[in-house]
């Protein structure tokens, strides 16, 4: 199959049409015709080469929704029939043989297929290939495709930490950052049953945060605001990509509380050892969910009508969409219509 994709040929460059041959379909592989694609900050990191890992021409994109158009010989056709509406996310495959996969932790597989790191074969294209059909997710009928796309990365990234960190409905939880990830985290936590507080730099997004389910709000740049919340939260989920005053955020945790970092700060995280060990607090990483967790996330979102708030863009406006995401102007997830 000849695939038409949209690639940056230099770091930060405008997207241009790019064609490649997909090659023979492997036994476990699935080809999906893309109808909708979300834009994540990680896509910009690949296009702009923020981490020094990009390969050009770079085809980013890892929040894909579309239709199955071809399946490999070993694919369960009953599970993924031709024409099935599906999602493909940040991880499009894993080996299913290593210790991590066998124990269900497919998101930790050392040979996982990270769509955004593929180089020239990501999801900003009219077709994308998943390397294993078990990482291709049927989309619930009640969920529009433009809403399903951001759930394939942003949704599973904020849902998985709830399971991995055993967050309970009785917990008091704070979400740092009310953006593409944060606005979904507030919705999930509200329906999870938690008392949830939104933390943003100013009060500009307070009304939105409350609309998404927050029952409390902290404007972190207000003098003494974080100090006043000392010891308040069992779990804090940071969704921002910027650097934070990490000791202040350790301070708002209750004893044995956890700070989960789902965003990627620019600089190393530095905290006072005393603030960490004196009350047995923890800092953990948050990543996209396993196959099982991603399926659970889609079911949970469908059951509770959890939806990302999206801005839609036509293909002709792709670069405009990327620029709005770069500037942090999107409320709250940009989605491109490939049809």
User: pLDDT tens across 59-72, in order?
Assistant: 999 999 999 999 99
Q: Enumerate the β-bridge partners of residue 234.
A: none
Q: Residue 315's pLDDT is what?
A: 97
pLDDT (tens digit per residue) in 205-263: 999 999 999 999 999 999 999 999 999 999 999 999 989 999 999 999 999 999 999 99
- Which two three-digit tokens encode residue 165? 């960190």
Q: Residue 337's pLDDT is what?
A: 98
Q: Residue 117's pLDDT is what?
A: 83
- Which two three-digit tokens encode residue 204? 């500009």
3-state secondary structure the chain: CEEEEEEECCCCCCEEEEEEECCCCCCCCEEEEEEEEEECHHHHHHHCCCCCCCCCCECCCCCEEEEEEEECCCCCCCCCCCCCEEEECCECCCCCCCHHHHCCCHHHCCCCCEHHHCCCCCCCECEEEECCHHHEEECCCCCCHHHHHHHHHHHHHHHHHHHHCCCCCCCEEEEECCCCCHHHHHHHHHHHCCEEEEEECCHHHHHHHHHCCCCEEEECCCCCHHHHCCCCEEEEEECCCCCCCHHHHHHCEEEEEEEEECCCCCCCCCCCHHHHHCCCCEEEECCCCCHHHHHHHHHHHHHCCCCCCEEEEEHHHHHHHHHHHHCCCCCCEEEEECC
Q: Against a cut of 0.85, is the pTM above it?
A: yes
- Rounded to the nearest integer, the mean pLDDT of the chain is 97
Distance CA 9, CA 15 (A): 8
**Using CA of residue 268, residue 49, residue 32, residue 318, what is the dihedral sign?**
positive
Q: Residue 318: pLDDT above 90?
A: yes
Burial, 296: exposed, middle or buried (Cβ in 10 Å; 0-12, 13-18, 19+)?
Answer: middle
Do 275 and 226 touch, CB atoms closer than 8 A? no
- Which two three-digit tokens encode residue 211? 């609309």
pLDDT (tens digit per residue) in 157-215: 999 999 999 999 999 999 999 999 999 999 999 999 999 999 999 999 999 999 999 99
pLDDT (tens digit per residue) in 303-313: 999 999 999 99
Q: Are strands 233-238 and 253-261 parallel, antiparallel or unpaired?
A: parallel
Q: Enumerate the β-bridge partners of residue 260.
A: 237, 284
CA distances from 1 to 57, 72, 154 (A): 19, 14, 30
Distance CA 198, CA 236 (A): 10
210-230 core/surface letters (b: 16 or more CB in 10 A; e: else): eebbbebbbbbeeeeebeebe
Q: Residue 55's pLDDT is what?
A: 86
CA distances from 217 to 116, 158, 229 (A): 33, 19, 11
Segment 8-27 shows an average pLDDT of 96
């Amino acid at each position: 199959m000849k695939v038409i994709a949209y690639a940056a040929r230099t770091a930060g460059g405008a997207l241009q049409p790019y064609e490649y041959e997909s090659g023979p379909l492997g036994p476990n592989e699935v080809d999906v015709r893309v109808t909708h694609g979300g834009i994540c900050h990680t896509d910009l990191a690949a296009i702009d080469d923020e981490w020094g890992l990009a390969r050009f021409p770079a085809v980013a994109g890892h929040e894909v929704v579309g239709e199955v158009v071809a399946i490999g010989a070993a694919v369960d056709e009953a599970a993924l029939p031709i024409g099935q509406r599906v999602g493909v996310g940040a991880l499009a495959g894993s080996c299913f043989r290593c210790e991590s996969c066998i124990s269900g932790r497919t998101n930790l597989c050392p040979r996982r297929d990270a769509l955004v790191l593929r180089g020239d074969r990501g999801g900003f294209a009219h077709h994308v290939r998943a390397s294993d059909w078990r990482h291709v997710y049927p989309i619930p009928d009640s969920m529009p495709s433009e809403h399903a796309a951001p759930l394939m990365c942003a949704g599973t990234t904020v849902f998985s930490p709830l399971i991995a960190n055993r967050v309970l409905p009785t917990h008091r939880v704070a979400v740092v950052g009310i953006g593409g990830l944060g606005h979904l985290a507030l919705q999930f936590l509200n329906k999870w049953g938690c008392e949830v507080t939104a933390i943003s730099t100013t009060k500009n997004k307070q009304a939105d945060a409350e609309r998404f389910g927050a029952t409390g709000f902290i404007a972190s740049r207000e003098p003494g605001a974080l100090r006043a919340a000392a010891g308040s939260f069992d779990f804090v989920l940071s969704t921002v990509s910027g650097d934070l005053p990490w000791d202040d955020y350790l301070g708002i945790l209750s004893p044995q509380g956890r700070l989960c970092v789902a965003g990627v700060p620019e600089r190393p995280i530095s905290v006072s050892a005393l603030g960490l060990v004196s009350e047995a607090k923890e800092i953990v990483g948050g990543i996209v969910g396993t196959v099982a967790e991603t399926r659970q996330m889609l079911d949970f979102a469908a059951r509770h009508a959890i939806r990302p708030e999206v801005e839609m863009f036509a293909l002709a406006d792709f670069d405009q969409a990327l620029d709005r995401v770069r500037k942090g102007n999107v409320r709250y997830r940009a989605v491109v219509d490939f049809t």
